[in-house]
Amino acid sequence: MTEASHEIVERALAASRADGCVVIASESSTVNLRWANNTLTTNGAARDRSVTVISIVGRSFGVRSVSSIDSGSGGGSETADKLAELVWSSEAAAKDADEAEDYADLLTPGQPGTATAGPGGEAFDEPARRTSTSVFSTFATDLGEALRAARAEGRALYGFAEHDLTTTWLGTSTGVRLRHSQPTGTVEWNAKNGQPGGSVWHGQSTHDFADVDVAATDAELRRRLAWCARSIDLPAGRYETLLPPSAVSDLILDAYWSAAGRDAAEGRTVFSRAGGGTRLGEAFGPAGLRLFSDPNDSELSCTPFVSASHSSATSSVFDNGLALGRTNWFDDGKLAALVHTRASARAAGTSATPFIDNLIMDGGGTATLDEMVASTKRGLLLTCLWYIREVDPEVLLLTGLTRDGVYLVENGEVTGAVNNFRFNESPVSALGRITEIGAATRTLGREWADWFTLSRMPALRIPDFNMSSVSPAS
Amino acid sequence: MSIAASPGAGAPGTPPHDVDPEFLALPRTALTDAALQTARDLGASHADIRIERLRDGSLSFRDGNLESSHDGSTVGFAVRVVHEGTWGFAAGVDLTVDEAVRVAREAVEIAKVARPLNSEPIELVDEPVHADATWVSAYRVNPFAIDTRDQIDRIAGLCRTLLASPDVDHVDGHFNGVQENKYYADLAGTSTTQQRVRVICQLEATKVDPAGGFETMRTIAPPVGRGWEWLIAGPAAGCWDWDAEIETIPGLLAEKAKASSVTPGRYDLVIDPSNLWLTIHESVGHATELDRALGYEAAYAGTSFATLDKLGNLRYGSPLMNVTGDRTAPHGLATIGYDDEGVATSRWDIVRSGTLVGYQLDRRMTAANAAALGVSRSNGCAFADSPGHVPIQRMANVSLAAAPGGPSTEDLIRGVDRGIYIVGDKSWSIDMQRYNFQFTGQRFYEIRKGRIVGQLRDVAYQATTTDFWGALDGLGGEQTYVLGGAFNCGKGQPGQVAAVSHGAPATLFRGVNILNTRHEAGR
């Protein structure tokens, strides 16, 4: 019999002899389907579980985690022994460790800044919620129809659908008890028609697959494949470019991940000011541009408290249980906040603004992507970006590829499919060159979809996006 | 009991080790019997079980101070079946007979759900049975047998030595040690128990210009399939000379910070193996994975220009180019005795004298393409990165052969009139068919008339794979050969990571396109 995670948290805390202790337990269940060449390739269902114990001795900490405290032969005293062994192992690690630079007193219930379950919140002792293949019941049927139609009509479909439900319990020796369940679903489609450049993509982030419309997606894929009937070769160069929300999400995520306040203050990021300090308050984008995170966003809700199993420039184990709220990273085009733990915030003389698992950009635009195409005299319309890597952190120069759909727009209409390009661009620089911001829509960045699925982005018009070279890939 | 390779085979000086008793104490037989019998009873034509335990220890340092220390253990198992010609896969974490039965049933149920979507019946190529086989990788000291305080002191000491230099403002350090235990059994009778150990340590120094801007330089020590000895034993034991490398970095960083910005154009390149391993990984390793060539990764990791119809006739590079796939190389990160389908591992040719002659395979792809491949056996490239993930075809140690009796790096440099010598990897990116790539590095030395005249900065090389390898004009000898690699090669959905090594000698390429990254940024 497997012990409930909330009980494990309580027993680990009870076993602790350290000055402070944080226990994070998680249980996840996931199901997936993968297809290629119009047939299923792999599929699966898996459950995972982990217990992480962070012991604090003096001003030092040690972390130990396991996926299971069960020996395999039963529970009872043997399980209790394994849990105690885990706790004591983390205490020994804390005694071995240096004093932590990010040391802070653990948060207590009721202290300003400490998260609360809130009205309607999840009870700490609820069992884990689980997903199952039933989440795909409608989707799998519709997928089967789409695969059959593609076979009959000479298209090839490739893709992947996954649904994960992870429940996290957080308990501290100071009395904090928090719990959160996070559903995460994605579905990605790639359709090919065998013609040069005839490859298109659509990605979607979803909580529960109820909003996944296979027929509508298939229709959009077919519309884009039709754009590929005319193939156009264009050379490398700077082009007016319509970045769709997926591409914007991937590019701006790199900026978000580079926004550690401490690193910026030390002079080693794009957000460092020459001569010392940071670029807070500096205008990077047009007036009205906002970039923010909000765990309580109705469409993109995510964990509303800090749950950190390690310390870094952007996280601190001592902040576990800290409430997360809306944080404006860019406000009216100006850099408004950098990612700060409580410790780095103290050093910077500001308030803590921890990393949050969603990201939203809004510039007040209302135009749909189709409307932006219609108002384009000549430019490129992209589908998504791929293999994005940092080239120069000083300016956050990124390189990467366009993928599965670059279209030439002339006089308001798509006139053909263009070859792919390698780009070399800085998203921070590109913000300052925006000439149009579209309506923000929920999207899935293709490059970083394995790590970050909750974003709402507008399409952006960049007048001179740097397509550094031509890629023959299609 | 059959032994694929004696513990430490091919790796002189590494003592034999037993498999971790804690792993051996897991109820492997009971779970296997329950899961495989359940799958058989439910009509599976193939069933296998993997029971795995992964220990993962990491230390991170910031400016000589320990920033975070973590030691984690993941235990679980997975059952994979072929039922009515369709895959089914399920995984669990509770190592009980009841759970093994539940997971086996779930795998069959998933196969039934998936059956209407599957138009290509799954067949696996036959492989010899390896009953009760054991294999342990070559290492001296298991990193989990070392006191954490000793590990902290060693790495923090290296960081602080760097930080003591007036040319260094910040130092970031990271160490990661892994012990991987895998048990595999299938209905045909194969059962294997294996243990691998690997470590990676990287230190990066940063110099901040008070007037704005900064420059970095990272150690080029590769990750290896060795133990803690990699950090302490030194070159006499075949390990890295950390103290010597750390001593050179401040001066090299200061020189780089003051270096001239490169003039873009075509240059001859002498590429150190510390840089070329990554180019091999991206432009040859991934391009010759058969699942990519067949389109299985089309929606995610991408396909390959090296499609199956080009086997035996694709001119991949110059006649100097000989590349092997190898899951047996001593201390290689992808080295193991048996893959995750119970196939004994091997070494084989991928590119011979510049021509594509082989792919990386698993049992299903081999069965489906045996005639085109001209082989009847898998070469053992199935791998799952955790008990919760299904095995997919992953990369072997794909390496470029040195020239027997070939020249030194200095000899190669002497043959260049106008060029750049590139050391260490940094930024990397390649397109979804493995044509167009761009790489940077840690250090770029300008070569004029056969001599190094100083460092350059802001360098990136950009090329098309077959043009680049066609420009290969010189290979160093065995004395220049180094096994580089990475812990974090990503592929598949759900995403999986794998560790892999790539060996290369020093090399000379003619007329490669060099970009100036400042210009690319519009500065």
* Complex prediction ipTM: 0.94
- What confidence score (pLDDT) does residue B117 get? 86
Q: Which of A66, A140, A272 sits opposite B73 (nearest CB)?
A: A66
- What confidence score (pLDDT) does residue A43 get? 85
| Neighbouring residues of B165: CB distance < 8 A, sequence distance ≥ 6 | B205, B250
Residues B229, B233, B236: CA angle, nearest 5 degrees: 130
In the numeric block, the tokens 């027993």 are attached to A11
> Among A96-100, A370-374, B277-281, where is mean pLDDT lowest?
A96-100
Residue range A258-299, pLDDT digits in tens: 999 999 999 999 999 999 999 999 999 999 999 999 999 999
Q: Which of B73, B110, B493 sits opposite A67 (nearest CB)?
A: B73
Check CB contact under 8 Å for A473 and B433.
Answer: yes
pLDDT, chain A, mean: 94
CB B363 within 8 A of CB B343: yes
- Nearest chain B CA: its distance from A128 CA (Å): 15
> Among A36-40, B232-236, B290-294, where is mean pLDDT lowest?
A36-40
Residue range A137-192, pLDDT digits in tens: 999 999 999 999 999 999 999 999 999 999 999 999 999 999 999 999 999 999 99
Between positions 291 and 310 of A, the ones with CB within 8 A of B are 309-310
Question: A450: nearest CA in chain B?
Answer: B495
Q: Is the pTM of this model over 0.80?
A: yes
- What confidence score (pLDDT) does residue B11 get? 63
Average pLDDT, integer, range A387-410:
98
Check CB contact under 8 Å for B296 and A41.
Answer: yes
% pLDDT > 90, chain B: 95
pLDDT of B506 above 70: yes
pLDDT of B3 above 50: no
Question: A42: nearest CA in chain B?
Answer: B87
pLDDT of B190 above 80: yes
Dist CA B229 CA B231 (whole Å): 5
CB B180 within 8 A of CB B174: no
Question: B110: nearest CA in chain A?
Answer: A44
In the numeric block, the tokens 């697959």 are attached to A209
- What confidence score (pLDDT) does residue B492 get? 93
Residues of chain B with Cβ-Cβ distance to A33 below 8 Å are: 114, 117
- Which of B495, B497, B469 is closest to B485 using CA atoms? B497
Residues A54, A55, A60: CA angle, nearest 5 degrees: 110
Question: A93: nearest CA in chain B?
Answer: B148
Dist CA B339 CA B392 (whole Å): 10
- Which of B376, B386, B387, B383 is closest to B339 using CA atoms? B383
Q: How confident is residue A118, by pLDDT bands cut at 50, 70 and 90?
A: low
Best mutation site among A204, A424, A466 for testing chain B: the one with the most B CBs within 10 Å?
A: A424
- What confidence score (pLDDT) does residue B13 get? 65
Token output for A442: 């929920």
Check CB contact under 8 Å for B517 and A35.
Answer: no
% pLDDT > 70, chain A: 96
Q: Which of B75, B148, B520 sits opposite A468 (nearest CB)?
A: B520
User: What three-state secondary structure class fits A223?
Assistant: helix
Residue range A57-100, pLDDT digits in tens: 999 999 999 987 654 444 455 666 889 999 999 999 999 999 99
Check CB contact under 8 Å for B117 and A35.
Answer: yes
CB A453 within 8 A of CB A431: no
Dist CA B121 CA A39 (whole Å): 10
Dist CA A200 CA A222 (whole Å): 9
Q: How confident is residue A119, by pLDDT bands cut at 50, 70 and 90?
A: low
Tell me, yes or no, if A82 comes closer than 8 A to chain B by beta carbon: no
User: What three-state secondary structure class fits A465?
Assistant: strand
Question: B429: nearest CA in chain A?
Answer: A387
Dist CA B321 CA A157 (whole Å): 36
| Neighbouring residues of A119: CB distance < 8 A, sequence distance ≥ 6 | none
> Among A1-15, A96-110, B339-353, B387-401, where is mean pLDDT lowest?
A1-15
User: B132-159 in b/e burial notation, b at 16+ Cβ within 10 A?
Assistant: ebbbbbbbbbbbbebebeebbebbbebb
pLDDT of B193 above 60: yes
> Among A76-90, B48-62, B257-271, where is mean pLDDT lowest?
A76-90
Q: Alpha carbon of A198 to those of A31, A155, A404, A453: distances in Å? A: 30, 10, 8, 27
- What confidence score (pLDDT) does residue A379 get? 98
Token output for A433: 């060159």
- What confidence score (pLDDT) does residue A69 get? 65
- Respond yes or no on whether the N-terminal peptide bond of residue B494 is cis (omega within 30° of 0): yes
User: A12-22 in b/e burial notation, b at 16+ Cβ within 10 A?
Assistant: bbebbebbbbb
Strands A334-335 and A327-331: antiparallel
Q: Give B230-263 as a 3 state SS string.
A: HHHCCHHHCCCCHHHHHHHHHHHHHHHHHCEECC
Dist CA A129 CA A134 (whole Å): 14
- What confidence score (pLDDT) does residue B119 get? 86
Residue range A304-314, pLDDT digits in tens: 999 999 999 99
pLDDT of B9 above 70: no
